[in-house]
Structure 1
Amino acid sequence: MSYLKFLPAETRLLDVFKAHPGPARPLLELHEQVMRADSPFTAGERELIAAYVSGVNSCDYCHGIHTVTAEAFGVAEGTLAAAVRDLDSAPVDDKLKPVLAYVGKLTRTPSRITEADAEAVFAAGWSEDALHDAVLVCALFNFMNRMVEGVGLRADEAYATESGQRLHDGGYTGLAKFLTDES
């Protein structure tokens, strides 16, 4: 149940976006740019990063939806739950582990990120552009996790499945069609 009492009892993020389309439209455009534009990371890898950050933040709403989206892009089922539990033993590609370690640390203790953390990402074969893109995904989902938790959104597994598949199929700008109320 949302803390925004003017919204329906079973409020979803799309309901919040419909109620506030002014900030929602550019936010969805930013999502599309960060999550789907050209990047050293595939869309699935960026969804993996988003779901991992959301899991680290214990944001079940975003973690659930973006886990489904990542899996729709080919990430093996169970990978994200295992990564959040224990990244070192998780069935994550060794090249991605330093990236997830970086965004995990950036999420938990941002002031403790060091050049050595970045060097671990580079040593795994990622470029500076990749580090930049990982930081953007991390920052965007820390923002979204706080927005979702701040307004009290919850979603069951059925909604996570529906929403995750919708993101896979239509991307983030595809959500703009749901914003029918102009302001």
Structure 2
Amino acid sequence: MSLLPSLPDDAALLDVFRAHPDTARPLIDYHEVLMRGDSPLSVAQRELIATYVSGLNGCAYCHGVHRATAARFGVPESTLTALLEDIDTAPVDEPMKPLLHYARTLTLTPNRAAQKAAAVFEAGWDEKALHDAVSVCALFNFMNRLVEGLGIRATDDNSARSGQRLAEHGYAVLRDML
């Protein structure tokens, strides 16, 4: 239930963005550049990190939307479930595991994250990949707190629709919806 009295109880994140377009516009632009722009990480890998971080934080709204988005980019839901249980046994490419360990540490114990950087480079990732993974992790920790802090909830139907929209049109389309 939305904690903003001006919004309906069943408000979605888009309702929050519409109510606060001045802060939403640059946030949407950042999402578009980070999640769909040039990166050594594929769109699927970035959505995987976003979904994983949201799952770690227990943010059902973001986890649901990005689980649906990641699925559209070929990431099975079973992979996302397995990651939350154990990165090392989850069915993801081996080079992704150090990035996911980094995201986990940055989310749960950020003061220990630097200890995980060497493993990322040893797995063959470059500085841009680490930067982008950290940025996705940070953005979704922020978004999880925004959504949870405002009491925003999603239905499965909303997650599926939002996931389809993000997969087909990216984030920039949200600006047109404000």
Q: What is the aligned partner in structure 1 of residue 40 from structure 2?
A: 40
Partner in structure 2 of residue 172 of structure 1: 171
Distance 1:9 1:109 in 2: 33
| Equivalence for 1:154 | 153
Which segments of structure 1 move beyond 4 Å, counting only runs of 4 or more? none
TM-score (structure 2 length as normaliser): 0.97
Separation of aligned partners in 1, 2:113 and 2:161: 36
Distance 1:2 1:47 in 2: 25
1:35-57 CA-partner distances (Å, limit 9, x unpaired): 01100001111000000011111
Shift of 1:76: 2.1
Partner Cα separation in structure 2 for residue 111 and residue 132 of structure 1: 17
Partners in 1 of 2:18 and 2:60 — Cα distance?
A: 22
- Whole-angstrom distance in 1 between the partners of 2:10 and 2:113: 38
**Which digits, 9 at most, give the CA deviation of each residue in 1:69-92, with x for residues without a partner?**
111011123111110122121111
DSSP 3-state at the match of 2:74: coil
Unaligned runs of 5+ in 2: none
Match of 1:75 in 2: 75
What is the aligned residue count? 178
TM-score between the two structures when normalised by the length of structure 1: 0.95
CA distance in structure 1 between the aligned counterparts of 2:152 and 2:87, rounded to whole angstroms: 27
Identity of aligned residues (%): 58
What amino acid maps onto 1:124 in structure 2?
A
- Which structure 1 segments of 5+ residues have no match? none
CA RMSD of aligned residues (A): 0.9
